[in-house]
Amino acid sequence: MTDTKSLEATSLEHKKFQLEYLRDHWDQHIKNINYLLIAHSATLVGCLSTLKDYNATPQLKGIGVLILISCIGLISAAIAHGLISYSRSIQQNEIVHSTALGSADEVVNPSLIAMLLSLICFLSSLVIVAYRFSFL
């Protein structure tokens, strides 16, 4: 009986270690996605606030491209956030219930693609802003 209790305690400690590792791992991904969400939102708010003065300052032609890129980046960051949260819950359920409910690897690849798309959109919007305002 004591062997089974010690085995269960060791198994429980191993599960706690795995859950802590997963928490740290996925928290880093979610922090990165949150930074992209904040950056795209700030860019979009900045663009929309300049639109209210668009009639007075016509030199801001082409701001629609920046708004479009920010929206695409915001959407892809939101998709990546949802996919990462979903894959995190899949892996936590696998550890807690000791069963394979599904593969989180099937979800991680699309989330990384969405995160990469969001990052590319953010960087391209920065290049557009730098190019547009470098001649002022």
Which pLDDT score, from 0 to 100, does residue 4 have?
A: 65
Which pLDDT score, from 0 to 100, does residue 11 have?
A: 79
- Using the predicted structure, report yes or no on whether residue 1 has a pLDDT greater than 90: no
What predicted TM-score, i.e. pTM, was given to this entire model?
Answer: 0.69
Contact 102, 90 (CB under 8 A): yes
Please choose, from the candidates 84, 82, 77, 64, the residue with its C-alpha nearest in 3D space to the C-alpha of residue 122. 77
Name the token pair of 44.
Answer: 């979009």
pLDDT tens readout for residues 113-125: 777 888 888 888 8
Contact 87, 52 (CB under 8 A): no
- What are the extents of the domains in the chain? 22-133
Q: How far apart are CA 14 and CA 8, in angstroms?
A: 10
pLDDT tens readout for residues 55-106: 766 667 777 788 888 888 888 888 888 888 888 877 877 777 776 555 555 5
